[in-house]
Amino acid sequence: MLARAFDRVREYTHEARIAFLEYQIATLSGDNARAADKALAWLELEPRNQHACSAALIALGIGEERWAEAVSIAYRIVDEKTDDLVVLNNAAYVLAMSGAPEAAVEVLESIRADDFIIKATLGLAYLASNQIDKGMKLYRMAAQDAEKVSDDSRSLMTCYQALVVRQLGILNTADMEMLSALSLPAVALPEDWEDRPEFLRLYNIAQRHGYGWPLSID
């Protein structure tokens, strides 16, 4: 329905706005690859737009795992010293997953924001630097904070944690008994997860690699 409505006004819409709307439609439909392409098109048209930067970091990096391409955007964000916490958090996520966890930690520690999303990304950064105890502790702290906001936030965080330990190779190298004891326990997905792009993004990654769904460590 959204796509049909957009088609009716496309010829009257600015080029950058078209790229943004196409990115949004791809994201809402769970099409990771198209979302990444449209986010990059949007960023090319509006390179100083922080929302476009954030979209590219999420879609290209997290959604498509094209870390080598996404990391150049992340470093540019850091160099520009933006004060947008969402963009900084996404840049730190990409840095951690691109082999630069120390840079990610530096970015996140400098923010010092009491935010469960930033705390979870900091946990990811420590996991990427092979500080598993510290990383898992931060994830648990973030999950406790998330529960005060929404049960769905904890469910999403559990899936993310289970994904990154696979992507970082920790699941294959760490003591499984220890890892299970430290990890977030599996929780039920929200009933409407198939209508939510943040869950669809992870579901498509799981499908790509043949991981079970919902993602969990145990």
Q: Domain spans of the chain?
A: 114-218
Q: For a pLDDT cut of 70, what percent of the chain falls above it? A: 94
Cβ atoms of 168 and 174 closer than 8 Å: no
> For the chain, what's the residue count?
218
Q: For a pLDDT cut of 90, what percent of the chain falls above it? A: 77
* Rg, C-alpha atoms of the chain: 17
Burial of 25 (0-12, 13-18, 19+ CB in 10 A): middle
- Give the pLDDT of residue 8: 57
Mean pLDDT over residues 124-141, rounded?
A: 96
- Give the pLDDT of residue 147: 84
pLDDT reading at 43 higher than 60 = yes
The average confidence (pLDDT) of the chain is 91
Q: pLDDT band for position 140 (50/70/90)?
A: very high
Integer Cα distance of 184 and 192 in angstroms: 22
Cβ atoms of 126 and 105 closer than 8 Å: yes
- Give the pLDDT of residue 206: 97
> Is the C-alpha dihedral spanning 80, 85, 89, 90 positive or negative?
negative
Spell out the residues 6+ positions from residue 117 whose beta carbon is closer than 8 angstroms to its own.
89, 142
Q: pLDDT band for position 12 (50/70/90)?
A: low
pLDDT reading at 3 higher than 80 = no
